[in-house]
Structure 1
């Protein structure tokens, strides 16, 4: 997710399959690439597109960097999601109403969205290994004070600051994707990035399972134990990055790519769609436990009663993500995205109906369907971005007679668009939690929020149809 020149191909084959590791050749590796000036962890000679180099040298190095990156990103996503489970511990002793709790889950999403672009650019500026070490250690900034300060009597302002600080984990996804993209040849980028993205997304249900374990064993009086579990994991992630990751020094940020992409209408169309998919995933992941407790208070009188279901939605959404990419490969990204938003609108309508009828089975089915389709939409919208620029490059090449320049510009802009859309899309997590907050404040229930979600998904499928599917002159084909 970057405008990195060396990573602009990230959009050529975005995250699709996460069910198998990237291809490697069983041939024994030869000497690793030269490391300039005797400095360790610096790959001065890196040629993943060279078949011989990849077979003999590149694959094992890339695979080692991938697995460490997955672990570091997973820990980052877990820290980002800490407050999705922490709020379940904040009982009457903390004196916080539901609206205040939804605000506590909104601010991490806000900071995470803001940090995605600078974190992406930091990979080329400081080196992927160096920045992974720094970004892992930055997770201690929220985790340590949470471990110390989370107890009855702590001020709401302090809780807001602590919640906001966990947003640093949201930036880790962007820098991790930009870094791993540098290591793999084009034909393997999709699988490698899919593994990286899937491993990171699984941090959301993982931290909620940790919270459930704490609630079930120590009880709701010890919320500080949840961040405490992650302190050694954060240190381990930093140490693993220092020991096993490498820098690729010839990576650089494309000057002007972000500015040029920001002037392109497709950047903002795709950002809107990504708000509907990834924004829904992260927003519902943060809010699901609270909504269950509030919507069905008699069924879930204690936090542990809700916590055992909280992780299901994010888990399903994470695991289903590759299906969206695979469907987009076969059917077309725009077509899959269109019908996916139709399904999300239907799912939100089912949730609204079930909430009004107090039908918990229907409510759970509807909410889980929202996680499923937000996961599918993450994959299909990612697939649309390179397809958009491939179609435009083909048209540009016909006009200019220079297909090489057209393809270079397409890769440059698609990489920048992914960076912008990723940052904007993460802000959807803020909107979801603010919508729930305002709905409970105004009416004491979440019906207004569900209506807002239905309206947003309707807007998304109408935009998808109008811009990418409606027959007519000038429409991009093959998106």
Structure 2
């Protein structure tokens, strides 16, 4: 067992741990776990603020009354723009960790959040052009990129046996940034009124600085993590990267899409005021965020594929409840179904991200690798694929908002949008079963029949 060596080489821009082997149980018990947990805590803080800024316009649109001259379709397009840019940003953010170091990039990406927040503070008033609002909403997409770099970084710190919990906690703590910014918006609307959006923005400026300072003081860079264009190319060519991207559209795409759209749906379809909408909007994202580590823990215990399969079945049922509530115009039933959907997206987010490192570890075993070679291959490919999967999954949030926009434009309600989502979840259920759990003649999952030691059904 080799202890981690920490350097402060100014040419490399901060603290670097040059040797890191979390799969070595002695190293992990004596030093590794403590270091990994410390980095996890401050990664969560930075990612949390990033999510708040990314979803800022789900709150800002609640402040945009008739005097702003923006109709519901225009508001959906604003939040869709933020979603799109955040999804695209995830790809370069994934590889930035290896290029600059996890600590260094966390500091820089946190400070970058000052730009969209300050810009929104400057323009958030009636009379500002829609084009300006659109440009500022696009800037908030950098907050969405924080997720990819954070998850890639934390994936490198933890052993495979603990990745479900660690990645679930990291992502869940970040996801809570969505309901927190919505709660702050509710507090401002309920106390100062719907004409003071700058109070929300002003509250976040010092929080961004605090997150950056904490990352600089308490996080580490991992020397063994290096940019590997070969890994990126291999991940792009592997069909499991794209299969998991599609499944992640169903889980995280739903979470972020619904988080952006929930308040607008309540206002547009059920006639809620900004205060009434804000008082309900945060509940679903909060519960979905809190339950994400539970999804990871369940996946650690029972296998991510099994949890993901039945989670999609439950999501289809919950969506059916929402469709029924929409047809009969029952707000109470609608809220029950929608909150259930948020809970299930959280469970599915945890279980799908647990699957990724397990799948690539199984690929290594399939190629005849064993021991540290298999572990290293799994870390290498899963790290490269996570940003790509996260980016495609986040595009699901854009798709949800565009489907909502079209549904409200053509029918005045979101019912047809929810019908589309229901069939998509059923498709994800079928895909998960067919690729990762279908039984073959040899008694194992078809995808894993030839793999020694780790079946895809167990990832």
C-alpha separation in 2, matches of 1:381 and 1:259: 22
CA RMSD of aligned residues (A): 2.4
1:453–1:59 distance in 2 versus 1, CA, 3 Å: closer
C-alpha separation in 2, matches of 1:102 and 1:404: 48
Counterpart position of 2:437: 469
Alpha carbons 2:101, 2:221 under 8 Å: kept: yes
Alpha carbons 2:168, 2:295 under 8 Å: kept: no
Following TM superposition, by how much is the alpha carbon of 1:185 offset from its aligned partner in structure 2, in angstroms?
Answer: 4.8
C-alpha separation in 2, matches of 1:164 and 1:181: 28
Following TM superposition, by how much is the alpha carbon of 1:208 offset from its aligned partner in structure 2, in angstroms?
Answer: 0.2
State whether structure 2 residue 63 is matched by structure 1 residue 92.
Answer: no
The residue matched to 1:475 in structure 2 has which SS? helix
TM (normalized to structure 2)? 0.90
State whether structure 2 residue 172 is matched by structure 1 residue 198.
Answer: yes
Alpha carbons 2:165, 2:300 under 8 Å: kept: no
Give 2:278's match in structure 1, choosing from 291, 295, 307. 307
Unaligned runs of 5+ in 1: 1-29
Following TM superposition, by how much is the alpha carbon of 1:307 offset from its aligned partner in structure 2, in angstroms?
Answer: 0.5
Unaligned runs of 5+ in 2: 449-454
Counterpart position of 1:33: 6
- Which moves more between the two structures, 46-55 or 302-311? 46-55
Counterpart position of 1:431: 399
- Bigger RCO (CA 8 Å, 6+ sep): 1
Following TM superposition, by how much is the alpha carbon of 1:112 offset from its aligned partner in structure 2, in angstroms?
Answer: 0.8
Give 1:374's match in structure 2, choosing from 345, 353, 368. 345
1:333–1:33 distance in 2 versus 1, CA, 3 Å: closer
Deviations 1:168-188 (A, max 9, x none): 000111112222344445555
The residue matched to 1:261 in structure 2 has which SS? helix
Alpha carbons 2:254, 2:400 under 8 Å: kept: yes
Structural mapping, 1:66-77, within 5 Å? 66-77=40-51
State whether structure 2 residue 292 is matched by structure 1 residue 292.
Answer: no
Following TM superposition, by how much is the alpha carbon of 1:325 offset from its aligned partner in structure 2, in angstroms?
Answer: 2.3
Alpha carbons 1:47, 1:54 under 8 Å: kept: no
C-alpha separation in 1, matches of 2:52 and 2:363: 38
Alpha carbons 2:17, 2:220 under 8 Å: kept: no
Give 2:15's match in structure 1, choosing from 39, 42, 49. 42
- Which moves more between the two structures, 40-49 or 156-165? 40-49
Give 1:208's match in structure 2, choosing from 182, 204, 221. 182
C-alpha separation in 2, matches of 1:93 and 1:278: 34
1:414–1:248 distance in 2 versus 1, CA, 3 Å: closer
Following TM superposition, by how much is the alpha carbon of 1:99 offset from its aligned partner in structure 2, in angstroms?
Answer: 0.7
C-alpha separation in 2, matches of 1:219 and 1:403: 60
Counterpart position of 1:156: 130
Alpha carbons 1:36, 1:44 under 8 Å: kept: no
1:333–1:59 distance in 2 versus 1, CA, 3 Å: closer
C-alpha separation in 1, matches of 2:34 and 2:373: 33
1:331–1:56 distance in 2 versus 1, CA, 3 Å: closer
1:374–1:335 distance in 2 versus 1, CA, 3 Å: same
C-alpha separation in 2, matches of 1:36 and 1:107: 40
The residue matched to 1:316 in structure 2 has which SS? helix
C-alpha separation in 2, matches of 1:194 and 1:433: 25
The residue matched to 1:154 in structure 2 has which SS? coil
Following TM superposition, by how much is the alpha carbon of 1:419 offset from its aligned partner in structure 2, in angstroms?
Answer: 2.3
Counterpart position of 1:106: 80
Counterpart position of 2:242: 268
Alpha carbons 1:340, 1:376 under 8 Å: kept: yes
